[in-house]
Amino acid sequence: MPSAKILEAKKETVSGLKEKIEKASILVLSQYSGFTVKEISELRKKLRAQDSEFNVVKNTILKRAMEAAGYSSLGQYFNGPTALLIGYKDPVSPVKTLVNYIKEVEKGEVRVGVIEKSVVLKEKILEISKLPPREILIGKVVGGFKSPIFGLVFVLSGTLKKLVYALNAIKEKKGGETK
């Protein structure tokens, strides 16, 4: 039986992990077997730049933290070596980085994810990794709003031009010049 000191340390670890899980905008459970320490360090460095973490955690500790955070339905995914990607801001960029890195090193795999408190299966995580970055998506939305406005301005300016031409034609027909 573990000592009280060890049990207390494990409880603190579970509690700290639970807090991170609750703050996260995205969580991804992945299998990392075959990764070298250097590869994991490189992946962590890339993810840190995106305000994300990649943690290798014992399954029992991770399972308890996930259950404490309200994700008890994920119990079936805690078999074998498990790592947890935690993203705090943009949910797409960290997933894209993880999936691309797994493809690059040809090791590991994505198991399941949680996006904005909703459980998402592997297939959806892989689809999300193919989305363009957030800035590009925002640009497309803004461009979508901008197009109809430009069309309206063009149509209205055409109507004004026709009015000016009509007034000029009337002026020339009457043969008068303005002073």
pLDDT at 125 exceeding the cut of 70? yes
pLDDT at 124 exceeding the cut of 60? yes
Maximum distance among all Cα pairs of the chain, rounded to whole angstroms: 110
Question: Residue type at 116?
Answer: E
- How does the average pLDDT of the chain come out, rounded? 86
Please tell me the class of the 4-131 domain. alpha beta
Average pLDDT over residues 37-54: 93
pLDDT at 83 exceeding the cut of 90? yes
Average pLDDT over residues 141-163: 75
pLDDT at 152 exceeding the cut of 80? no
Q: What pLDDT was estimated at residue 72?
A: 86
Average pLDDT over residues 31-60: 92
- Note the pTM of the prediction, 2 decimals: 0.72
Orientation of helix 4-23 relative to helix 59-68, angle to 10°? 50
Q: What is the DSSP letter of 25?
A: S
pLDDT at 20 exceeding the cut of 60? yes
Residue 152, CB half-sphere, CA atoms under 13 Å: how many?
5
pLDDT at 70 exceeding the cut of 60? yes
| pLDDT 10s digits, 109-119 | 999 999 888 89
Average pLDDT over residues 170-179: 72
Average pLDDT over residues 150-157: 73
Render 51-112 in DSSP notation, one character per residue: TEEEEE--HHHHHHHHHHTT-GGGGGG--SSEEEEEESS-SHHHHHHHHHHHHHHT--EEEE
Cα gap 35→62, rounded to integer Å: 19
Average pLDDT over residues 89-107: 90
Q: What pLDDT was estimated at residue 177?
A: 59
84 touches 57 (CB < 8 A): yes
| pLDDT 10s digits, 136-147 | 878 878 777 777
